[in-house]
């Protein structure tokens, strides 16, 4: 009986390895069907002998299954470690290496098993007559594998494009929401009232500083609305301007501690207005008294790449239209596209705690 031509390797085309047992059983049925068809096409003479048919089918299935597994697991392994979207050149080189190396290993092992079963010497693996048994099916396998890896690339590219579009939409919503909050009549009304008090108190120095800080707040909002990320140092300076306005209005009723050394914040980035949103929520949702200040603490964990804002919980009544909760939801949605680390909201010992992941570019 002639050895089956191992061009049945072309089933190195990738079928998903991971998934439910239903999908795996479906893949097995496809492999069995392909092996049966190839058995007839590659060695029609085996149909006259049950033994020859069984041997030919076993070898064809071994090639098909072996190459399916090696290429399938290669794709799964590469997808979990190297993204087409982030490192396309490295992914292409690794794809070529794994497709060629894995396929050659499968071909050689099956050829060795076949020679052993036939009682031939393994030294024949390196004989010139075996080259055709390796190179021809390998070439076919590489072509089909590259086609399927290309499909994986385009699927990843499409997913990245969809994620980018969703991120742009979420970012636009968050920017509009942030801008709307900043020009909200309540914020402007409170700021103007505070400015009026400074003028009436005949304190021009503080009034001028207040106007400058108010100007910086609006300038930052407008300048950052087209950016996905801003340096944390800029966000901190903006938050300080925002807090100056609020402390001018609230006085000693608001006590904010910001433990953010300039050298520590320098490497990090955040979505624009992220820190300000958290500070605004604290002031908006909690009561503050001169005799019992609302205490807020902002800390940085450089090792964990996180920024934490915590405040004592002293809930105050809000009008129904002020309880949307969209600010944190929008911010969490933006983070879901920017980082694998989520925004974390929790309560600890009577404190409301929000932890922002910090990004490094």
The pLDDT tens digits of the residues spanning 189-206 come to: 778 788 888 888 878 888
Q: Residues in the chain, how many?
A: 361
The pLDDT tens digits of the residues spanning 283-307 come to: 888 898 988 899 999 999 999 999 9
Contacts of 325 (CB under 8 A, 6+ apart): none
In CATH, the number for domain 185-357 is 3.30.565
CA atoms lying within 13 Å on the CB side of residue 255: 10
Which of 204, 209, 265, 278 shows the shortest CA–CA distance to 237? 265
Contacts of 57 (CB under 8 A, 6+ apart): 35, 36, 39, 46
Decide the pairing of beta strands 294-301 and 269-270. Answer: unpaired
Are 355 and 308 contacting, i.e. CB atoms less than 8 angstroms apart? yes
Phi, psi of 25 (to 5 degrees): -65, -40
Residue ranges, comma separated, of all CATH 3.30.565 domains in the chain are 185-357
Query: pLDDT at position 12, please?
Result: 39
Q: How far is CA 1 from the centre of its chain?
A: 54
The answer to whether the pTM exceeds 0.95 is no
Sort 84 into a burial class: Cβ within 10 Å, 0-12 / 13-18 / 19+.
buried
Query: pLDDT at position 356, please?
Result: 95
Q: Count the neighbouring beta carbons within 10 Å of the beta carbon of residue 181.
A: 18
Map residue 133 onto helix, strand or coil. Answer: helix
Are 63 and 105 contacting, i.e. CB atoms less than 8 angstroms apart? no
List the chain residues with pLDDT less than 70.
1-27, 38, 42, 84-85, 129-153, 169-186, 318-326
DSSP string, 201-244: TT-HHHHHHHHHHHHHHHHHHHHHTT-S-EEHHHHHHHHHHHHH
Residue 60 corresponds to which tokens in the numbers above? 């064809």
CA distance 110 to 108: 6
The partner residues of 312 in beta bridges, in order of sequence, read 351
């Amino acid at each position: 009986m002639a050895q089956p031509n191992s061009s049945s390797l072309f089933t190195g085309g990738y079928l998903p390895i991971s998934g439910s047992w239903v999908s795996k059983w479906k893949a097995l049925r496809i492999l069995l069907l392909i092996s049966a068809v190839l058995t007839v096409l590659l060695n029609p003479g085996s149909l006259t002998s049950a033994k020859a048919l069984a041997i030919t089918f076993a070898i064809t299935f071994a090639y098909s299954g072996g190459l399916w597994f090696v290429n399938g697991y290669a794709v799964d392994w590469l997808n979990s470690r190297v993204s087409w979207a982030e490192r396309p050149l490295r992914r292409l080189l690794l794809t070529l290496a794994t497709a060629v190396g894995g396929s050659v290993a499968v071909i050689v092992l099956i050829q060795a098993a076949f020679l052993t079963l036939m009682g031939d010497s393994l030294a024949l693996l390196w004989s010139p007559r075996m080259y055709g048994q390796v190179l021809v099916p390998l070439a076919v396998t590489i072509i089909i594998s590259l086609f399927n890896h290309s499909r994986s690339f385009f699927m990843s590219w499409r997913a990245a494009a969809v994620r980018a579009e969703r991120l742009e939409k979420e970012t636009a919503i968050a920017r509009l929401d942030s801008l709307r909050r900043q020009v909200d009549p309540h914020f402007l009304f409170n700021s103007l009232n505070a400015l009026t008090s400074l003028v009436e108190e005949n304190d021009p120095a503080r009034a001028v500083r207040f106007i400058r800080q108010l100007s910086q707040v609006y300038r930052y909002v407008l300048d950052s609305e087209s950016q996905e990320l801003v340096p944390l140092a800029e966000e901190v300076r903006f938050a300080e301007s925002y807090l100056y306005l609020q402390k001018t209005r609230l006085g000693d009723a608001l006590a904010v501690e910001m433990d953010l050394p300039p050298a520590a914040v320098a490497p990090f980035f955040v979505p624009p207005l992220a820190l300000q949103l958290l500070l605004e929520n604290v002031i908006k949702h909690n009561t503050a008294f001169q005799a019992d200040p609302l205490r807020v603490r902002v800390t940085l964990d450089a090792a964990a790449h996180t920024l934490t804002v915590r405040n004592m919980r002293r809930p105050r009544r809000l009008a129904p239209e002020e309880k949307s909760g969209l600010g944190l939801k929008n911010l969490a949605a933006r983070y879901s596209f920017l980082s694998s680390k989520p925004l974390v909201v929790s309560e600890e010992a009577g404190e409301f705690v929000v932890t922002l992941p910090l990004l490094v570019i």
